[in-house]
Amino acid sequence: MSEHPGNDQPDPLGSFDEIIAAETDRDPDLAVIEAGSRTLRTQGGPPEGDVPARPADPEVDKALREVETELAGRWGETKLEPSVSRIAALMDVLGEPQRSYPSIHITGTNGKTSTARMIEALLGAFELRTGRYTSPHVQSITERISLDGAPITAERFIETYQDIKPYVEMVDTSQEYRLSFFEVLTGMAYAAFADAPVDVAVVEVGMGGSWDATNVIDGDVAVVTPIGLDHTDRLGDTTGEIAGEKAGIIKQDATVILAQQPVDAAQVLLKKAVEVDATVAREGLEFGVVARQVAVGGQLLTLRGLGGEYTEVYLPLHGAHQAHNAAVALAAVEAFFGVGAQRAEPLDIDTVRKAFAAVSSPGRLEVVRRSPTVVLDAAHNPAGAEATAEAVREAFDFTRLIGVVGASADKNVRGLLEAFEPIFAEVVVTQNSTHRAMDADELAAIAVEIFGEERVQVEPRLPEALEAAITLAEEEGEFAGGGVLVTGSVITVGEARLLLGKG
C-alpha cells in the first residue's frame, strides 16, 4: 500500500491482526471494535466525531468493555423470538419512558439509517433536541444512541446501562426468555431520550416492524423506505409479505411517508393505513425528487415537499438513492411540523439547505482514502448493491474498479455479486471476523461462477484483501483512475474503516 507508515512505525494492519488474535475469549464484534480503535490511534488520530473511537481513559474503556461483554452474552440480533412482550415489560417497569416524547419511526429494507440521519439533521436545524436510535453500528456500539446529532459518550452509555440494569434483571426473571441484546439497547435508548430529555426521537427498526423491539412507541410519523427482499427467512418471501410485517409501525391517526415501493408492498401498506385512519403521503405523488445533478462531493437537488418546492439543496452524499432518501426525510419532517395539514407554508428554505449540507452517513459511499481512491459502502443485499453500483457509475470516474467483498452467510450473496459484476474489473473476496461471515472460499466459488476465475482473488483475512485490492488498483498508475470499493456487509465496512482510517 502506497501510504503505509515507514519502517520505524507500527504497521496498523499487523497490529489489528495481533489484537484480534489476543481477544479470542471475547465476542468477535467487540474484539474488532477494540482492535480498530487502537490501530487508528497508531495512524495519528481518531475517526470523525460521529464514529467514536474507544475511550481514552483506561477506566472508562474498561467499564465500557464490561458493558459490551454483558450485552454480548445475551441473544444476538440475528436470534429472534417474534414478540414485544419482553420490551413492553421493561418499558412498564421503567415507567414508559418512550411515551414522554413524540417520535418518528422508520422501517423499510434499504436507506433507513441514512434517512434517519437526514431527519435528525433537519429537526436539529429547526432547534429541536433530537434522540436517534439506529442499527447496526459501523464501529462503536455507542453510535446507536445519539443525542443532538452525536453519539452519546461512553460515560453516558455506561451510566444508562447501569441505571436500567436492575430493571432488566427483574424482567429477565419474569419472562420465558431473557431480554435480547437489541431489546436491552432499545430500552437504553428510550430511557436516555427521556432522561435528556429530547423534543423528538428518530427511531429505526431493527428488523420488520410488528414485533420489532422498537415498536412500543406510537410514532406520530411512520416512514417506510423502499422495501426489497431481505431477511426472507423471517419476514416473508415476497415484498408484499415483508410489507405486512413492516406495516406494523403504522399506528392510529399517524402520518405515513411512503418511499417508492413495489406494487404489492404499496397495496399492503395503504390497506393498513386505511384501517387505522392514517394519512398517507407517497413519493412520486405528494412529494418527490424534481431534479438532481452531480456536484462536487455530492449532488444538487430540487425537492418537492408537502408544502412546496425546495430548490438548490446541496446533499454531500452520492447516488440517486440518497436523493430519494432526502425527499422522504424532508416529507417526514414536514409531516411532523404539520406542513400540508395544519399549515400551508413550506419549511424555511435556508434552514433546510443548511441541514442537508451538513448530513453525513458513514459507510455509505464514503471515501476514506485517495491515491488510489478507496470507497466504503454497506450494501448487503441485491437492491442496495444495484443502487450503489449505479451511484458509483455516476459519481466516480474509475477506469478500473476493484471490489473487496465480505458478506454475511444469511444474505443473497449471488444477487449481490451479480449487481456489482458490471462495475468490478476484478473482485477480492474475503470475510469479516464475525461468526455470521460467509466463508471466503464459499463466497469465492459463487464469485467465480459470476466473474470467471481470472477475475476473482481470495484473501480470507480483510487486511490482506485490502492490500491486494489496492495493489491491483495501483496497477493503473498514480494518475490513472484505479479505485477500490469495499462492500457486502456493515461489519466488513466497519472493519475496513477502522483499518484504513479517515483522510
> What separation in angstroms does the CA of 340 have from each of 281, 306, 316, 335, 336?
10, 5, 27, 7, 10
Residue 425: pLDDT band by 50, 70, 90 thresholds?
A: very high
Q: Is the pLDDT of residue 2 over 90?
A: no
Residue 230: pLDDT band by 50, 70, 90 thresholds?
A: low
Dump strand ranges (E) for 261-356. Answer: 279-282, 288-295, 298-305, 308-315
Phi, psi of 438 (to 5 degrees): -70, 135
Q: What is the pLDDT of residue 45?
A: 32
Rounded average pLDDT over 460-477: 91
488 neighbors 407 (Cβ within 8 angstroms): yes
Q: What is the pLDDT of residue 41?
A: 29
Q: What percent of the chain has pLDDT over 90?
A: 69
Q: Is the pLDDT of residue 27 over 80?
A: no
Specify the pTM: 0.84
Residue 270: pLDDT band by 50, 70, 90 thresholds?
A: very high
DSSP H/E element including 471:
helix 462-474
CA distance 380 to 78: 15
Residue 496: pLDDT band by 50, 70, 90 thresholds?
A: very high
Which of these ranges, 148-162, 187-201, 478-492, has the smallest mean pLDDT? Answer: 478-492
Cell numbers at 146, concatenated: 445519539
Q: What is the pLDDT of residue 50?
A: 66
DSSP secondary structure string for all residues of 173-185: HHSSSPPPHHHHH
Rounded average pLDDT over 92-108: 97
DSSP secondary structure string for all residues of 65-129: HHHHHHHHTS--TT-----SHHHHHHHHHHT-GGGSS-EEEEE-SSSHHHHHHHHHHHHHHTT--
Of the two residues 76 and 320, the one the predictor is more confident about is 320
Q: What is the pLDDT of residue 80?
A: 64
Q: Is the pLDDT of residue 51 over 80?
A: no
Rounded average pLDDT over 477-500: 86
> What separation in angstroms does the CA of 490 have from each of 84, 171, 376, 440?
26, 31, 10, 17
CA distance 3 to 6: 9
Q: What is the pLDDT of residue 333?
A: 98
Which of these ranges, 38-52, 291-305, 483-497, has the smallest mean pLDDT? Answer: 38-52
Rounded average pLDDT over 31-38: 40
Q: Is the pLDDT of residue 139 over 80?
A: yes
Residue entry with cell 399492503: 268
Q: Is the pLDDT of residue 19 over 50?
A: no
Q: Is the pLDDT of residue 438 over 70?
A: yes
106 neighbors 115 (Cβ within 8 angstroms): yes
Residue 46: pLDDT band by 50, 70, 90 thresholds?
A: very low
Residue 10: pLDDT band by 50, 70, 90 thresholds?
A: very low
149 neighbors 119 (Cβ within 8 angstroms): no
Residues 6+ apart with CB under 8 A from 187: 87, 90, 91, 94, 164, 167, 168, 179
302 half-sphere exposure, CB direction, 13 A CA radius? 6
Q: What is the pLDDT of residue 478?
A: 59
Q: What is the pLDDT of residue 6?
A: 36
CA distance 190 to 194: 6
5 neighbors 11 (Cβ within 8 angstroms): yes
pLDDT digits 0-9 by tens, 187-216 = 999 999 999 999 999 999 988 788 899 999
Residue 487's CB: how many other CB atoms inside 10 A? 30
Residue 242: pLDDT band by 50, 70, 90 thresholds?
A: confident
pLDDT digits 0-9 by tens, 314-365 = 999 999 999 999 999 999 999 999 998 777 789 999 999 999 999 998 888 9
Map residue 293 onto helix, strand or coil: strand
